[in-house]
Chain A
Amino acid sequence: MSVKPPMRMREKVLLRVASQVFIPLILLFGLYVQFHGDFGPGGGFQAGVIFAAGFVLFGLIFGLEALQRVVPLSVVESCVALGLLIYGGVGVSCLLRGGQFLDYGVLDHHSSMHGQHLGILIIELGVGLTVAATMLAIFYAMAGRGRT
């Protein structure tokens, strides 16, 4: 009588079904925290972590390879860079529009309040992107240890 090999996580029905229910909810909640950040608690940093948690859960259940098929490492690295560039790009575009660096007020011609709102929204988007991508990069580095 042969010993059955331990079941892999993706073969466990409960985990698979539950994670399939939870992952979209986690991602949605991440987006909520991201875009509701200027009215309630939240913002790019928290949203990025929550959003990445959804991907990490997927990776834990379905394996690192499956996750890297969805989000390859090169994409993750580019997103780390892109988030920072979005942040800095807002600052530079403020310069080009005649304000100081990161002076969002000048982003809207009509009302500086709208400009401030727009500026912080885009900046937080950059923060969220970088944080989420960095979380994933750390997860890849740790989960990929020992494999080459």
Chain B
Amino acid sequence: MSEHLSALIVVLPLLAAPVCLLLRQPTLVRIWTSLVAWTCLILAWTLLGRVETGGTISYSMGGWDPPLGIEYRLDALNAYLLVIVTAIASVVFPSGTILTGTSLPEGRQHLYFAALLLCLAGLLGISSTGDLFNVFVFVEITSLSSYTLISLGKDRRALTAAFSYLVMGTIGGTFLLLGIGFLYQVTGTLNMQDLAVRLPDLLQSRTVLAGFAFLMVGGSIKLAVFPLHQWLPNAYTHAPSAVSAFIAATATKVSYYLLARVIFTIFGAAFVFDALHLHWLLLPLALMAMFAGSLAAVFQTDLKRLLAYSSIAQIGYMILGLCMASEAGLTGGIVHLFNHALMKGGLFLAVASIVMRTGSSSVAGISGLGRKMPITMAAMVVGGLSLIGVPGTAGFVSKWYLVVGALERGWHFVGILILLSSLIAVVYVWRLVEAAYFGEPEHEVCDVPWNCWLPTWILIGGTLVFGFWTEVTVGGAAAAARAILGVTP
């Protein structure tokens, strides 16, 4: 059975979702969803260990060998990503509907869990498949389930947010499909490894170039790369809080993986960066995202929207790692996937607790909450410090590698800009601290029960732990960076 793990990790949540529809009873469904998420985490951890010791794992679906059949192919990068996604799911799912900040209608709660599991299955599918068309199918599964999840938010603006995400997401998905179609037309194959073998002779073809452009733009829409990020703030703001936490911590990470896979595995860094000079396009966009995202975050009056704009800035950092195309840069980018998932997931969960107690997510509403809800607000502060990149937190580790990567490439100004943009993060985090600890309390509230602050603190505690103990995170990310760069240690 053990050789089937790479298929099971996708099949399990995919089949667990319809089971939710049959179980129906809310408590039962919640326990079931949590069990599935935990099992997936164990599977992902096992797979990561196997990839580290035994190298790439290839699995042929239906017994049809690649490149004809669909191949699931795990290397150090996907296995690392699987661990990120399943870890976040294992923390967010057990809290169930308490932290959604919205009341789901009685008798329809099992559908929420089914959508969560489908979203998880889609994300894991994108991460583990080695077949380009299969990627598109899972992108659609993820997107459709996340539109549903976002539209469940507490007011009607969630519907328009979900709809504009649907429009942008569909455009992104269509671009991906067009790109895949173009590549298939020229090469006659959909398998990523096979494409990588056949494409080098065809790189002069306009069809291939157009296909590459479509894939990059489609992936960038899904990742919300500046200036294609317009859907993201509304979607994160109006979605149920727990959903914002899950999607913010996982969906963009998986899209980032997709871009990295297209650039490094399918087309190869030599073509993308040496022939097309893509970094001269991506680098300014990444820098603009870092500054525009952080500056926009400073002026937000809603906590979730503030975090959403900060996400856009953080995506800028990750893209920066991608453009460096060096081991240190990519390590920084990939380890930032992990660290950002921890901090943004934790921060959104902290906001979920605040919404649960005060009923609003406005920045003004947290006035004086430092005394009323000490546990939650402490998590918020630690998460904020990690966003800034204070030494001792996980955010520092990823920024360190990014700065090292920038200096290695001789991009000294980029190194300076990373530090400058972190200073803007100080401003928006300080606004939160100021309101929470120096304002007068407006609400007579007490802190949330343990089952609400525990998931928050697991993630926020993670940012502290992985700020010091970087063996797993940086080690895994470095292995992933080497794997996609094709460097042998």
Contacts and interface: CB of A to CB of B under 8 A. Distances in A.
B29 interface: no
A100 interface: yes
Contacts of B60: 100
B15 A104 contact: no
A101 interface: yes
B39 to A, nearest CB: 14
Interface in B8-32: 8, 11, 14-15, 17-22
Contact of B1 (A77, A78, A95, A105): A95
B14 A88 contact: yes
A101 B11 contact: yes
Contacts of A92: 11, 15
Contacts of A103: 62-63
Contact of B63 (A81, A82, A99): A99
Among B8, B11, B59, B62, find the residue whose CB has the most chain A CB atoms closer than 10 A: B62
A85 B21 CA distance: 11
B366 to A, nearest CB: 37
B129 to A, nearest CB: 12
A52 interface: no
Q: Is the interface of B mostly helix, strand, loop or mixed?
A: helix
A24 B21 CA distance: 29
B18 A100 contact: no
A74 to B, nearest CB: 8
B180 to A, nearest CB: 21
A81 B63 CA distance: 26
Given A80-B21, A81-B22, A95-B4, A102 B15 contact: no
Interface in A5-26: none
B288 interface: no
A77 B22 CA distance: 8
Given A100-B63, A102-B61, A105-B63, A85 B7 contact: no
A84 B62 contact: no
Nearest to A78: B22
A81 B113 CA distance: 13
Nearest to B21: A81
Interface of A: 77-78, 80-82, 84-85, 88-89, 91-92, 95, 99-105
12 contacts: A84-B14, A84-B15, A88-B14, A88-B18, A92-B11, A92-B15, A95-B7, A99-B63, A100-B63, A101-B4, A101-B8, A101-B59
Interface of B: 1, 4, 7-8, 11, 14-15, 17-22, 59-63
Given A82-B18, A95-B7, 4 more contacts: A80-B18, A81-B21, A100-B4, A101-B61
